[in-house]
């Protein structure tokens, strides 16, 4: 590419060739500079701007903080529903804002690629502060993914400093482990349902995951009009309810895990009663009843019954008596009641799904069937997470071995 500066009359100008268009190069030229140095400096800036068109920064000068913002917006946010969920975006945004920027934001991206020692120090410091292994691992994974993107396709750096970093062994947090692996006993679940009976809007948000193992976001996305087939005794999992900038949307389920699961008499009875009660409430509240509509962009709209619109009406699984929508955010109230009023500190939104998987495992259900029922990404997740190694199964192994010794 031809480039240079030249003097014309009393002022200096710079010039450089652009890329070829139809086989011919065009020239960019600008004059009016009073000194040769001013023209040289302006030329350098113009070439840098030309070469970085489409980028928001120069790779050599960008800070890690600014690059992480760039990656979050261009690689993650712009690909929501095309490989990433909004929840993933929110999790990454939180990790970047709370941990990665404070720790590494001031470094230049170009030099940070040679600083695995800085990342290792951060990991060790996080361990000292008492952060869980999963939290450290997930944050490190976020950073590694961002830097991989800087290698390819951007080609801003050549190596990823996260690769040699090790988290190492950490002491087991007994309370955290008990919380994560909590299986809700049958008697405790009955006690919870007594506090949240069929007349309570949260009732089905407890009953459904216990009976079919849905994720909380999938539970609240169920449409009683379309997702339940009483003739075939099936429940269709077709979406998850997620909040994007104060608006609730029904998005594809996690890992695109669309699935149909068989349901038993117990759950069928609960769902039929809920539909019957919903119709009674609609008559009771009349025009003041709040109906829910699914818009073309898959967002939800709630309007009083006396307001007529042409959108598709749905029947959400969980609503208040007057039809007002309950959501995964609303479920936090339910969890607080169980924690503080009922004294169960281990209960959490995921535990009923975990309980369902564990009951199936202890009952001898094939792991592949459990995987398909729960909508796992792969069988590895099912085998590692859904406890094909419970106390009951451990005891069964001991009993089998003892029996073999006596034979």
Is-contact 269 277, C-beta < 8 A?
no
Q: If pLDDT is split at 50, 70 and 90, which confidence band does 20 have?
A: low
What pLDDT shows up at residue 58?
61
Full DSSP string of 225-252: TTSEETTTTEEEE--EEEEETTEEEEEP
What pLDDT shows up at residue 22?
53
**Number of domains into which the chain is organized:** 3
Here the CATH number for the domain that contains residue 298 is 1.10.443.10
Return the residue matching tokens 């060739």: 17
Whether omega before 153 lies within 30 degrees of 0, making that bond cis, reads yes
Alpha carbons 29 and 40: distance in angstroms, whole number: 12
DSSP letter for 7, please: E
DSSP letter for 256, please: G
What pLDDT shows up at residue 173?
61
With a cut of 70, say whether residue 278 has pLDDT above it.
yes
Verify that 198 and 252 share a domain, yes or no.
yes
Here the CATH number for the domain that contains residue 121 is 1.10.150.130
Task: Determine, yes or no, domain membership for 80.
Answer: yes
Give the CA distances from residue 297 to residues 294, 312, 313, in Å, rounded to whole numbers and listed in that order. Answer: 8, 12, 14
pLDDT tens sequence across 300-350: 999 999 999 999 999 999 999 999 999 999 999 999 999 999 999 999 989
With a cut of 60, say whether residue 174 has pLDDT above it.
no
More confident residue, 160 or 52: 160
Point out the domain boundary residue: 171, 188, 203.
171
Verify that 270 and 341 share a domain, yes or no.
yes
More confident residue, 17 or 65: 65
What pLDDT shows up at residue 333?
95
Between vectors from CA 149 to CA 143 and to CA 153, what angle results, nearest 5°? 170
Alpha carbons 104 and 201: distance in angstroms, whole number: 45
Task: Determine, yes or no, domain membership for 347.
Answer: yes
Verify that 305 and 160 share a domain, yes or no.
no
Alpha helices, DSSP H, located in 60-115 = 64-71, 86-95, 101-104, 109-112
pTM value is 0.70
Q: Mean pLDDT score of the chain, rounded to an integer?
A: 88
Alpha carbons 199 and 352: distance in angstroms, whole number: 20
Verify that 195 and 142 share a domain, yes or no.
no
Verify that 313 and 211 share a domain, yes or no.
yes
Alpha carbons 134 and 167: distance in angstroms, whole number: 10
What pLDDT shows up at residue 23?
59
Cα distance between the two ends of the chain: 87
Point out the domain boundary residue: 338, 353, 368.
353
| Lowest-pLDDT range of 10-14, 34-38, 41-45, 375-379 | 41-45
Alpha carbons 249 and 124: distance in angstroms, whole number: 39
What pLDDT shows up at residue 53?
52
Verify that 348 and 236 share a domain, yes or no.
yes
What pLDDT shows up at residue 84?
79
Task: Determine, yes or no, domain membership for 214.
Answer: yes
| Lowest-pLDDT range of 8-17, 262-271, 291-300, 311-320 | 8-17
Task: Determine, yes or no, domain membership for 384.
Answer: no
Does an H or E element contain 98, and which?
none
Give the CA distances from residue 341 to residues 45, 180, 184, 273, 293, in Å, rounded to whole numbers and listed in that order. Answer: 65, 21, 17, 27, 35
Task: Determine, yes or no, domain membership for 218.
Answer: yes
Which among 143, 150, 149 is positioned nearest to 165, based on CA atoms?
143
Instruction: Write out the residue range of the structural domain in which residue 133 sits.
Output: 64-171
With a cut of 80, say whether residue 48 has pLDDT above it.
no
Verify that 302 and 269 share a domain, yes or no.
yes
With a cut of 70, say whether residue 177 has pLDDT above it.
no
Is-contact 121 129, C-beta < 8 A?
no
Verify that 74 and 10 share a domain, yes or no.
no
What pLDDT shows up at residue 78?
83
Is-contact 165 119, C-beta < 8 A?
yes
For 291, other C-beta atoms within 10 Å of its C-beta total 19
Which among 325, 232, 323 is positioned nearest to 279, based on CA atoms?
323
Does an H or E element contain 172, and which?
none
pLDDT tens sequence across 225-248: 999 999 999 999 999 999 988 899
Verify that 241 and 153 share a domain, yes or no.
no
Task: Determine, yes or no, domain membership for 129.
Answer: yes
Verify that 234 and 118 share a domain, yes or no.
no
Return the residue matching tokens 């690059």: 67
Verify that 219 and 250 share a domain, yes or no.
yes
Verify that 214 and 153 share a domain, yes or no.
no
């Amino acid at each position: 590419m031809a480039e240079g500066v030249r003097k014309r009359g009393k002022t200096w100008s710079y010039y450089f060739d652009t890329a070829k268009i139809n086989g011919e190069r065009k020239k960019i030229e600008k004059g009016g500079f009073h000194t040769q140095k001013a023209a040289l400096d302006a030329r350098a800036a113009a070439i840098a701007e030309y070469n970085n068109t489409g980028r928001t920064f120069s790779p050599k000068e960008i800070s890690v903080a600014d690059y992480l913002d760039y990656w979050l917006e261009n690689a993650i946010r712009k690909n929501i529903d095309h490989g990433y969920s909004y929840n993933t975006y929110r999790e990454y945004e939180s990790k970047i804002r709370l941990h990665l920027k404070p720790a590494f934001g001031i470094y230049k991206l170009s030099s940070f690629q040679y600083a695995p020692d800085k990342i290792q120090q951060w990991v060790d410091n996080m361990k000292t502060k008492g952060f869980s292994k999963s939290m450290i691992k997930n944050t490190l994974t976020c950073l590694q993914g961002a830097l991989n993107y800087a290698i390819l396709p951007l080609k801003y750096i050549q190596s990823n400093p996260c690769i040699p970093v090790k988290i190492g062994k950490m002491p087991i947090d007994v309370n955290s482990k008990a919380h994560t692996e909590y299986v809700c006993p049958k008697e405790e679940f009955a006690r919870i349902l007594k506090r949240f009976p069929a007349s309570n809007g949260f009732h089905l948000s407890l009953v459904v995951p216990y009976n079919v193992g849905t994720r909380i976001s999938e539970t609240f996305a169920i449409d009683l009009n379309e997702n339940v087939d009483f003739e075939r005794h099936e429940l269709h999992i077709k979406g998850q309810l997620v909040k994007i900038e104060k608006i609730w949307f029904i998005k594809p389920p996690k890992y695109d895990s669309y699935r149909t699961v068989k349901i038993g008499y117990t759950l069928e009875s609960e769902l039929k009663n809920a539909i019957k009660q919903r119709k009674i409430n609609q008559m009771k509240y009349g025009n003041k009843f709040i109906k829910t509509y699914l818009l073309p962009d898959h967002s939800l709209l709630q309007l009083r019954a006396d307001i007529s619109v042409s959108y598709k009406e749905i029947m959400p699984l969980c609503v208040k008596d007057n039809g007002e929508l309950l959501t995964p955010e609303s479920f936090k109230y339910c969890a607080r009641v169980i924690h503080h009023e009922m004294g169960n500190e281990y209960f959490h939104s995921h535990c009923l799904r975990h309980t369902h998987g564990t009951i199936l495992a202890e009952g001898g259900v094939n792991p592949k069937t459990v995987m398909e029922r729960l909508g796992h990404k792969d069988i590895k997740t099912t085998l590692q997470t859904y406890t094909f190694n419970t106390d009951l199964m451990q005891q069964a192994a001991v009993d089998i071995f003892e029996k073999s010794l006596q034979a």
